[in-house]
Amino acid sequence: MSSLSPAELVDRLAAVGASKVSYTRTQTLVRSYMGAAILTLGAAFAVTVSTQTGQPLLGALLFPVGFILLYLLGYDLLTGVFTLLPLAMMMRRKEVTWGAMLRTWGLVFLGNLGGAITVAVLMAIYFTYGFSAPPSPVGEAIGEIGHGRTVGYADHGAAGMLTLFVRGVLCNWMVSTGVVVAFLSKDLLGRIIAMWMPIMLFFYMGFEHSIVNMFLFPSGLLLGADFTLTDYLVWNEIPTVLGNLVGGVTFVAVPLYLAHGRRSAAKAAEAAPGSVALAPQSELVGATR
């Protein structure tokens, strides 16, 4: 398997990050809507496998299927753009201004939320025969996840909030590592293997992923779980989003820049004091998250 050097990898990631701000509003919304929809179908699959087999490790082993599919189709997740755009800014890609970055983050968040809730509604129908019967065992398991990971944190007060935030940090450390290492390899199989490992780890360890939670918790509410929308927002989604942001920037983007990107960024600035051109579109196909 051929692969990039670390310095080449950082240059490519910066080009991918810069490309994110070049899409139209519609393109960004569609890319993020579909990214979340495919990822959360993968989450539903993993929970189904874990519940029906009683083997959580098997569910974690299979969960990366959704992540890999959305990557191969070139869709986006908030967790990835939390890392790629700051890295592109650090690498002095002039397309990535603060305004462009915040706009892209906001659009990706909205698109991801729409895709995840769509799947939540469809799966709630699936688990209840169109709300005409009690939830299936898998539906009950999803409801229990929502209860345990909202009220369960609230029961511990400030310590629970800290734990939730740290799990969000750890999650995007692994998820963004999966995004990054996918670009190391130049062939399809190498990319799939590279992504699989950190994504399996985060899911099995129960770290908090803001996009997966946009599916799990609305699903739980639709299926009658014992927590409220406020519980979900305050005791999961908002702290998870913040933790995902800190994890992606602090443990992925900044170390890559400091270890491999500072010299490249300085050379790029000297060579092109004006605008920096994007990488060819062919190199950006599959850029995601």
Q: Give the residue among 12, 178, 17 at the shortest CA–CA distance from 87.
A: 17
Question: Domains in the chain, please, with CATH?
Answer: 6-266 (1.20.1080.10)
Helices (H), 91-209: 98-128, 137-148, 151-154, 157-182, 188-205
- What the block records as the tokens of 211 is 């996009």
The residues facing 185 across adjacent strands are 3
* Assigned token pair, 116: 């995840």
Distance CA 35, CA 107 (A): 13
What number of other Cβ atoms are within 10 A of residue 110's Cβ? 16
Is the Cα dihedral 225, 229, 230, 235 positive or negative? positive
Rounded to whole angstroms, the Cα distance separating 40 from 115 reads 8
DSSP strands (E only) in the chain: none
Q: What digits encode the pLDDT tens for the residues 2-59?
A: 788 889 999 999 999 999 999 999 999 999 999 999 999 999 999 999 999 999 999 9
pLDDT for res 288:
44
CB neighbour list of residue 228: distance below 8 Å, 6 or more residues apart = 221
What is residue 280's predicted lDDT score, i.e. its pLDDT?
38
pLDDT tens track of the chain, all 289 residues? Answer: 578 888 999 999 999 999 999 999 999 999 999 999 999 999 999 999 999 999 999 999 999 999 999 999 999 999 999 999 999 999 999 999 999 999 999 999 999 999 999 999 999 999 999 999 999 999 999 999 999 999 999 999 999 999 999 999 999 999 999 999 999 888 999 999 999 999 999 999 999 999 999 999 999 999 999 999 999 999 999 999 999 999 999 999 999 999 998 776 656 555 544 443 434 333 434 444 4
pLDDT at 3: 82
Distance of CA 13 to the CA centre of its chain: 16
